[in-house]
Amino acid sequence: MQFSATVESAGRVHLSAFGGADKSGWVIPLGYGTWRLYDASGRQIDFFTRSDLGFASKDMLKETYLEGLVPGESYTIELASQDYCNNKGTFRQVVTMPQAAPESNNPEVSVPGIVQIGFMTYNPALQFSVTDDTGVRRVAVHINGALVKEYRYSDGASFRWWCDPYPVDAVESSLEGPNCYYAYPSSYRGTSAIVEIVVEDVLGNRSVSSAQLVL
């Protein structure tokens, strides 16, 4: 199985897998560790997914976004696939990110809400979506004014992956869409709190979204 890599901005690439054939007539993305990312020295610096999928089609992994790449840097992206007999193959492609062009558009961040996450055991978590036309650099979560979680991208070590919504199940999972999830501490559960999401892009443009929620 091969893929095309479309550079969408200075920090984001869209990956689209296609092809793949053998005698079984059945070739799909591997699942755990389907996509792997290497820096210019050849060192593996990230992979996706970090767990296998349960009760979902692995075909959803054919359309994947990778964000948090450093403008101007080169990377090697690898796709692992397998056939019906569990034989595995890989395909690699090098991408060079452009420099970030000056722009003043603020990131887009949705109003935070509460969802249940987990596989066998469900726990409440904050959920919100974040996008930017250049690339997200930082996402911070505040509860009642206190910083409780911070995500930093575009530093060569932290990355964000997500898939196009897979239409078969008609339900958006935690892998689909540019979503962020934060399982907040149990000490907040049952309390009413103001949740604030602060987002910055690689050029320093900033957006804030907030909501009062019963956690």
> Measuring CA to CA, how many Å separate 183 from each of 10, 118, 195, 200, 201?
30, 10, 13, 21, 23
Q: Report pTM.
A: 0.87
pLDDT tens digits for range 39-73: 999 999 999 988 777 666 778 888 999 999 999 99
Spatial CA neighbour of 159 closest among 177, 135, 194: 135
Domain 2-96: assigned CATH number: 2.60.40.10
pLDDT tens digits for range 126-160: 999 999 999 999 999 999 999 999 999 988 778 99
Q: Does domain 108-214 have CATH number 3.40.1190.20?
A: no
Q: Do domains 2-96 and 108-214 have the same CATH topology?
A: yes
- Tokens (6 digits) for 59: 């075909």
